[in-house]
Amino acid sequence: MDPLDTLGRPLHDLRISVTDRCNFRCVYCMPKEIFGKDFQFLPRAEILTFEEIERLVRIFVGLGVQKIRLTGGEPLVRRDLERLVEKLAALGDLDLTLTTNGSLLAQKANALAAAGLRRITVSLDSLDDATFRTMNDVDFPVAKVLAGIEAARAAGLAPIKINMVTKRGVNESSIVPMARYFKGTGMTLRFIEFMDVGSTNGWRLDDVVPAREIVALIDREMPLEPMAPAYRGEVANRYRYKDGSGEIGIIASVTQPFCADCTRARLSADGSLYTCLFATQGHDLRALVRGDATDEEIAKAIAAVWTERTDRYSELRSGDTAGLQKIEMSFIGG
Ligand code: SAM
Ligand code: SF4
Ligand code: SF4
């Protein structure tokens, strides 16, 4: 039973937010003014247990999911996350990965690799300490993230991808130094256009550094050529260095939307299913998991949501949509 949505898109990827908490307050994701001392994060009892996540993943795999990404919030702040990795790795031939801010990776890389994680994505927005601290807003130094990346490499997690959100006037000047640093390392640097996820990050179109500008900046010093996508639904546009020293990716969800091939579903930490990063509403799976629904009944419920899916937010984005009350990125994961 591999359901297709109303635009003929299959369900191939599942992103699982394992916690809505984070030790960073990135200005484009969890601005301090909103996510301050008094912010109410999910109580523990509302968060899916590892056993509940494992059961849901099994069901999603039955519906065609091949790729699982653990995310958050910051996934590595969830205690014993490697136990979940171990459970999911045991489910068989899944492409299992994780996106992290890298802050706890130096301690965790070996345990994650031993549990069966194969590859990893680390977010890093600049190599310049002052710029990075401005973006993470908790005074976290670049060196510790680089140490985390090194630990991941040493633990054999590969390939490693690096995510850099680019925000006009904040870290544009870090684009070329980041490209220089990761060129020839075997790691793929991916630039992400600043997106209007959620409704708290004060997004304005003027703050987006468009993909073509990023490519032009790098190409001037390190010539690039476009590459074909590796598979249908790949979110990043790929470019390789003409001298053969690697590639970069650009996730241009604002200037070059890719909804037509979007095969991704998202599961929030409290067990709601979202069919778009820009959704305003989820579908409660936790009630089914904690009720007496059978796996077949849950599969049917998920398939029913997916077959009715019409999402293509990025293709419809406008001044009006930016103001919608959307779910926060830290809640449903990137
Ligand atoms: N905390 C982890 C991290 O930062 O890697 C995982 C969760 S984070 C929500 C996932 C990805 O979304 C990160 O690479 C982050 O930089 C990106 N992200 C967050 N807010 C964004 C925004 N407004 N626009 C574009 N990317 C964003
Ligand atoms: Fe935390 Fe990741 Fe959001 Fe930054 S982007 S605030 S690290 S969840
Ligand atoms: Fe997929 Fe929604 Fe992003 Fe379009 S806007 S690519 S439908 S998550």
- Domains along the sequence of the chain with CATH: 13-332 (3.20.20.70)
Give the number of the ligand closest to the Cα of residue 20.
2
Mutation test of ligand 3: which of 71, 253, 263, 316 has the most ligand atoms closer than 8 Å to its C-beta? 253
Give CA–CA dist 155/137, Å, rounded. Answer: 29
Burial class (CB in 10 A: 0-12, 13-18, 19+), 64: middle
Q: Flag whether pLDDT at 320 surpasses 70.
A: no
C-alpha 259 to ligand 3 mean position (Å): 5
Q: Is the CB of 317 under 6 A from ligand 3?
A: no
Q: Flag whether pLDDT at 334 surpasses 80.
A: no
Output the average pLDDT for the chain.
94
Which of 28, 90, 25, 29 is closest to 57 using CA atoms? 90
Q: What is the largest CA-CA distance in the chain?
A: 60
Burial class (CB in 10 A: 0-12, 13-18, 19+), 169: exposed
Burial class (CB in 10 A: 0-12, 13-18, 19+), 202: exposed
Of 228 and 110, the one with more pLDDT: 110
Burial class (CB in 10 A: 0-12, 13-18, 19+), 229: middle
Q: CA-CA distances (angstroms) from residue 255 to 103, 165, 216, 252? A: 30, 14, 15, 6
Both tokens of residue 155? 């633990």
Q: pLDDT digit string (tens) for 161-186?
A: 999 999 999 999 999 999 999 999 99
C-alpha 167 to ligand 2 mean position (Å): 15
Confidence of residue 319 (pLDDT cuts 50, 70, 90): low
Q: Is the CB of 174 under 6 A from ligand 2?
A: no
Decide: helix, strand or coil at residue 12: coil
Q: pLDDT digit string (tens) for 222-237?
A: 999 999 888 777 889 9
C-alpha 99 to ligand 3 mean position (Å): 18
